Structure 1
Amino acid sequence: MSIKVKFYSLFKINLKSSGKEYQIDDEITVTDLISMLDDDYDGYFSHKLLDAGEIAPGSIILINGENVIHIDGLDSKIRDGDTITLFPPSAGG
């Protein structure tokens, strides 16, 4: 099974990548995906996306265009063929 992870904004710039594809054996959670990304990017994603084990304010995690905070948060299921889109927290005016 295959999933696509797309990086946007500073993720794309800092990592010099627009995303990554993973082969998974079974459905996983958003928490599992962040752990997989951390393994590949030296803990970068949990540091940027999480705060005290929760989604950091301003971080956006989408599964097939739907924000995970409207599904099951970090426990949201990721399945074969899903596209996960990640935006880092942003600020400014």
Structure 2
Amino acid sequence: MKVKLLATLRNITDCNELELEVENIQEVVEKLIELYGEEMKTELLESDQLDETITILVNGRNMLYLNGLKTKLKHNDIVTIFPQVAGG
């Protein structure tokens, strides 16, 4: 399944897209931290929970309105992950 990373997450990985073999969103988060280390962990987690400023979409739908971190993934799904940005 395809994972698209935007904004600061793209800067950490030096790529905007990667392929992962995982079963759910929780495993996507864990795999990204495993692959990219402490910097990715700092961006994605707050006190070992998904940071509330991180948005995760599955095929354009917010995972919060699906099954959260337990949302099951299929091989042809597209997961997009990005931090919320605020302007002023």
TM-score normalized with structure 2 length? 0.82
Contact 2:56 2:63 survives alignment (8 Å): yes
Match 2:85 to one of 72, 83, 90: 90
Q: Answer 1 or 2: which has greater helix percent.
A: 2
Who is 1:19 aligned against?
A: 17
Contact 2:2 2:17 survives alignment (8 Å): yes
Q: What is the alpha-carbon distance in structure 2 between the residues aligned to residue 18 and residue 46 of structure 1?
A: 17
The answer as to 2:24 corresponding to 1:29 is yes
Q: Give unpaired runs (5+ residues) of structure 1.
A: none
Using the TM superposition, give the Cα deviation of residue 76 of structure 1 relative to its aligned residue in structure 2, in angstroms. 1.1
Q: Percent identity?
A: 26
Which consecutive segments of 4 or more residues in structure 1 shift more than 6 A?
A: none
Q: Answer 1 or 2: which has greater strand percent.
A: 1
TM-score normalized with structure 1 length? 0.78
Contact 1:6 1:84 survives alignment (8 Å): yes
